[in-house]
């Protein structure tokens, strides 16, 4: 690849050149990470030997803590190396919709959106706000973001489903415990090399005034675009840009992503146990429970992964659930093969 990128004629084909340099940079990053971890392991083992020889218990304990952190880091890399699906490396669209629970559910939808945005920031991914529809009193009825970064879709695709929250509602004057629901959908951003044919006659295109919060994320103009794919009932919308043309282009990309995800799920259903239909956005269909009252616990109902660090989870620390879902999916693939 070094030889290919050194070719003076490389940039005669700008698209191919960009693809090649991006792949080369990713490989270099992986190799550098591996070498760095290998060097850290060697140094820490030598430090442990020195500490044992000198009976330095404090240094030995500190070395073991660093070894445990290195083990966790390499385990994450080991799992990431298993992201070999057709579009696992792609960026991702992530949608959140409030469900049963009224204002409480709309506030929960906004909390989930923040959780995923914070997760993306932790992993140095870029977040773009595509659409927001405000709640009646607080929170959000729906929102769509695009998360840009290597393997964003591969890590997040297991998050599709209904998420259940149990807490003392701040909107209840009697301070009663409420249960509310919100659904999450994750779809890959597909590039131009993947052809998705859509008959425009099957689509209804509407323009409307943006209804989001305005300011940093959403523009308050009449340029918002909504596309309804009549055969499937899929609805996508974009209101980020002031240009109706740009919003329309983004909406088409989201629709293609949704249709492509449907095809992926059809092909991978037997191996990955993914459901196309999530069912009602309420009781009996949740994939994860977030309990803040009377005790604190977040538990994934598919993998049994759980933690009592509810504050950390809601602040974006969800890797325990993503890793468990990926490990389970790989295990199922091995059984099926």
Domain limits for position 143: 92-336
Return the half-sphere exposure (C-beta side, CA atoms, 13 A cut-off) of residue 9. 0
CATH number at residue 35: 1.20.58.410
On the question of pLDDT at 307 being above 70, the answer is yes
Nearest to 318 by CA among 328, 307, 327, 329: 307
Q: What one-character DSSP code corresponds to residue 172?
A: -
| Arithmetic mean of pLDDT, 93-111 | 92
pTM confidence score = 0.73
Evaluate whether residue 86 is within a structural domain. Answer: no
Evaluate whether residue 85 is within a structural domain. Answer: no
Looking at the fold, whether 130 and 9 belong to one and the same domain comes out as: no
Looking at the fold, whether 26 and 119 belong to one and the same domain comes out as: no
Query: Beta-carbon neighbour count of residue 45 at 10 Å?
Result: 12
Confidence band of 276 (pLDDT split at 50, 70, 90)? very low
Please name the helix (run of DSSP H) or strand (run of DSSP E) that holds residue 198, with its range, or none: none
Evaluate whether residue 229 is within a structural domain. Answer: yes
Looking at the fold, whether 69 and 180 belong to one and the same domain comes out as: no
Evaluate whether residue 124 is within a structural domain. Answer: yes
Looking at the fold, whether 115 and 71 belong to one and the same domain comes out as: no
Looking at the fold, whether 44 and 65 belong to one and the same domain comes out as: yes
Looking at the fold, whether 245 and 158 belong to one and the same domain comes out as: yes
Looking at the fold, whether 256 and 303 belong to one and the same domain comes out as: yes
Evaluate whether residue 58 is within a structural domain. Answer: yes
Q: What one-character DSSP code corresponds to residue 12?
A: G
pLDDT at 85: 80
| Arithmetic mean of pLDDT, 49-78 | 91
Looking at the fold, whether 226 and 331 belong to one and the same domain comes out as: yes
Instruction: Pick left, alpha or beta for residue 149 (phi over 0 → left; psi -120 to 50 → alpha; otherwise beta).
Output: left
Looking at the fold, whether 197 and 288 belong to one and the same domain comes out as: yes
Residue that finishes a domain, picked among 30, 58, 80: 80
Looking at the fold, whether 246 and 138 belong to one and the same domain comes out as: yes
Nearest to 114 by CA among 184, 190, 187, 215: 184
Looking at the fold, whether 40 and 130 belong to one and the same domain comes out as: no
Looking at the fold, whether 155 and 243 belong to one and the same domain comes out as: yes
Cα–Cα dist 184/115, whole Å: 12
Residue 196 neighbours by CB under 8 Å, 6+ apart: 190, 256, 259, 260
Cα–Cα dist 74/28, whole Å: 17
CATH number at residue 232: 3.30.70.1660
- pLDDT tens track for 125-149: 999 999 899 998 899 999 999 999 9
b/e per residue 128-137 (b: at least 16 CB within 10 A): ebbbbbbbee
- pLDDT tens track for 29-41: 889 999 999 999 9
pLDDT at 83: 86
Residue that finishes a domain, picked among 55, 80, 105: 80
| Arithmetic mean of pLDDT, 169-196 | 85
On the question of pLDDT at 210 being above 70, the answer is no
Evaluate whether residue 87 is within a structural domain. Answer: no
pLDDT at 272: 44
On the question of pLDDT at 221 being above 90, the answer is no
Count of structural domains within the chain: 2
């Amino acid at each position: 690849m070094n030889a290919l990128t050194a070719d003076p004629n490389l940039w005669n084909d700008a698209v191919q050149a960009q693809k090649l340099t991006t792949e080369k940079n990713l490989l270099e990053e992986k190799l550098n990470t591996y070498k760095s971890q290998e060097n850290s392991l060697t140094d820490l083992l030598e430090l442990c030997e020195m500490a044992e020889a000198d009976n330095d218990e404090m240094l030995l304990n500190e070395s073991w803590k660093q070894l445990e952190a290195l083990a966790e880091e390499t385990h994450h890399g080991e799992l990431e190396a298993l992201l070999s699906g057709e579009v696992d490396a792609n960026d991702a669209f992530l949608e959140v919709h409030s469900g049963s629970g009224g204002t409480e559910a709309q506030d929960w939808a906004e909390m989930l959106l923040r959780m995923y945005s914070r997760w993306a920031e932790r992993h140095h991914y870029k977040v773009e706000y595509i659409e927001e529809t405000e709640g009646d009193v607080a929170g959000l009825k729906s929102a769509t973001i695009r998360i840009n970064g290597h393997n964003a879709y591969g890590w997040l695709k297991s998050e599709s489903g209904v998420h259940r929250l149990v807490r003392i509602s701040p909107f209840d004057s009697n301070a009663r415990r409420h249960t509310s629901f919100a659904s999450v959908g994750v779809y890959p951003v597909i590039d131009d090399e993947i052809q998705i044919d859509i008959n425009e006659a099957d689509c209804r295109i509407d323009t409307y005034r943006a209804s989001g919060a305005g300011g940093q994320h959403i523009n308050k103009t009449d340029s918002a675009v909504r596309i309804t794919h009549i055969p499937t009932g899929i609805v996508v919308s974009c209101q980020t840009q002031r240009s109706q043309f740009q919003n329309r282009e983004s909406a088409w990309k989201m629709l293609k992503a949704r249709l492509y995800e449907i095809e992926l799920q059809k092909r991978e259903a037997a191996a990955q146990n993914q459901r196309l239909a999530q069912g009602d956005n309420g009781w009996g269909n949740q994939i994860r429970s977030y309990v803040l009252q009377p005790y604190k616990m977040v538990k994934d109902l598919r993998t049994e992964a759980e933690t009592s660090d509810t504050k950390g989870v809601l602040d974006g620390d969800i890797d325990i659930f993503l890793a468990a879902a990926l490990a389970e999916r790989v295990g199922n693939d091995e059984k099926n093969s």
